[in-house]
Every structure is written in structure tokens, then in C-alpha cells.
Amino acid sequence: MKHSRTRLFKVLIAFILIVSGGLTGSMSSKAFAAEPTFFDFDAAVKEAFCKATDKCESTYYTKTDSLKVETSNVKFIGEPKETNQDLLFMGDAELSNSDSKVTQNLNSDAFSQQYQDTFSSTVTEGWKVGGGLDITAQLSKALGLGFNANGEYSFSKSETQTYAKWTTYNSPAQNIKVPPRKKAIVKVNLQRVKGTGEASLDATIGGNVQYGNTIEAGFDEMPVYDLFKDAVSKGYQMPPQLSFDDQNKKLLFKGKGTWEADYGTKYLVDTKLEDLDTGKVETKKYSVPAEEGKK
């Protein structure tokens, strides 16, 4: 009995260690997942104001309620990284050549199918400001075969935004050389991919910064461009997210985001030649560029 209890105890301990190890592994993967970061523009304004005016006491304040977004846009960084996903059926056809001597060029039908494409956008290096100024930008880009990916980036939000669109895919008719006494069996599939990449989030910031002293009535204001210019002239180090548009006297903000999309890239054509007399089969495969259907 004593030995049985000892063996049972060892088994239980081993099981607990395995389970706890599995839980620790899953928790660690989540713990080390990259979290979005948001540039604190209010803190940068406060620091620049202190450097530019030498008014650094706690009674002085700055407000960013009067800032303006002059322009904003999103651009892809580099080329998408694509990995193959499922093959989706487009259509099939049988083309028979009953002639005993002449090879014939026979055309299959063109095939049309609708499939849902998706685009997801996530901000990884964004913008935060207390005045409630949110920066948004629309992205419109053709991916793969011409899928028009439409997405929006809200520079102040960490949530992934996903958009779905039904796309009509049209595979062209296939011209097949069918030898005498052969039957061509043509099957067309759409190759789906998952595309991923990075995006540059850019904005031009104008407007004024308000400032004052809590022990005095009223407040003053100055252009945000001038505030940071004055601060730099007195030794302030610009954050890497900010730069100057000296021609238009505006501030430039640069952030980053990621994107992920599912779409079609090409048609895979599988052709089998079957002997009409013996039933013997030969197989040929090739691909053709995909074409997006007309809207």
C-alpha cells in the first residue's frame, strides 16, 4: 500500500508540473506580446514651453485645445509579405477531341466567383493628446491581383479595425491543346494569401498652444510651430516622432502601424488529359495572373 501511494504521489506531481509549465508558457507568450505605444504630445508641449520661456513652475499650464490637423495620410512601408492560404474553387470543364488525327485548340469557359476579402489595420506607434484631437487617415491600396484594400487608422486607438469586402474574381477562358482521341479535364482554383506589412502614419499639425498661470487671470497663446522652434533654439531636443515643416510653419508627426489582409493573387489551372480509348490520365499544372472582377 505504501509503495502504491508513493507512485500515485509521483504521478500527481509530474502532472502538476506539466500543466503548470504549459500555463507558464502561454502566459509568457502573452506577456511578451508587443503593446502599442502612444506619443504623449501634451508632455512634449509642456517640456518645450518650459525650455522656450523658462516658466517651469507648477503654476504654469499649457493647453492643446486649439491644435489642428492640417493633413494626415497612411503609406505602406516596403512590399507585403505574402503566405499561401487555401485554394478556392473557381470552376471546371471537360474538352473532348474525338478526331483520330488532328490536335485541336479548345477553349474552356471563363469562371466567375465572389469571395470575401478582408483588411485589418492596427496602430503600433500612435498619438495621444489631452485636447481631444484625434488623427485619422484612410488607406486605399491595390493588393495582389488588384483587391482594393480600404482601411482606416485612428492614430489614438489601439484596437484593430477590420474591413470586409466581397470581390468578384473572373478567371479567363483557358485555351487547351487537346491531342487526338483525348479529353482535357480543366479545373481552376484561386490561390488565397495572407498579406502582412507595416504602414507609416503621417500628419501635419498646426494651430495654437494656450498657456497661462493658475494664479493669474486669462491666458495667452502662440503657434505650436513657434513654440517648438523657440524651444529648439534654446537647447530642446525634438522627440523622434516630431519634425518641422519650415516652409509651411507646421509640425510633422510620424507614427507606425501594421496591417493584415486576405485576398487572391493568381489562378492555378490543373489540366488532366484522359485517353478516350484507354482511360489513361496525364496531369499538367500551371498558373495565370488573377484578375479582379468589374465593379
CATH assignment at residue 281: 2.170.15.10
Range of the domain at 255: 36-289
Residue 225 forms part of a structural domain: yes
Q: Which of 176, 189, 172, 171 is nearest to 95 (CA)?
A: 176
Considering Cα of 42, then 43, then 48, then 51, what sign does the dihedral take? positive
Would you state the pLDDT for residue 96? 95
Distances in whole angstroms, Cα of residue 82 to Cα of each of 77, 85, 138, 236: 14, 9, 22, 43
Residue 30 forms part of a structural domain: no
CA distance 43 to 49: 10
Residue 119 forms part of a structural domain: yes
Instruction: Name the pTM for this structure.
Output: 0.77
Residue 118 forms part of a structural domain: yes
Residue 7 forms part of a structural domain: no
CA distance 248 to 231: 18
CA distance 231 to 246: 15
Given the DSSP bridges, would you call strands 111-128 and 37-40 parallel, antiparallel or unpaired? parallel
Q: Which three cell numbers stand for residue 75?
A: 503609406
pLDDT per residue, tens digit, the chain (295 aa), is: 444 444 444 444 444 433 344 333 333 323 334 689 999 999 999 999 999 999 999 999 999 999 999 999 999 999 999 999 999 999 999 999 999 999 999 999 999 999 999 999 999 999 999 877 889 999 888 887 768 888 889 999 989 999 999 999 999 999 999 999 999 999 999 999 999 999 999 999 999 999 999 988 888 999 999 999 999 999 999 999 999 999 999 999 999 999 999 999 999 999 999 999 998 988 777 666 544 443 3
Q: Which of 90, 133, 59, 149 is nearest to 269 (CA)?
A: 90
CA distance 49 to 58: 12
Amino acid at position 35, single letter: E
Number of domains present in the structure of the chain: 1
Residue 15 phi, psi dihedral angles, 5° rounding = -65, -45
Residue 42 forms part of a structural domain: yes
CA distance 84 to 152: 25
Residue 31 forms part of a structural domain: no
**Bridge partners of 255?**
201
> SS3 of 239, please?
coil
Residue 245 forms part of a structural domain: yes
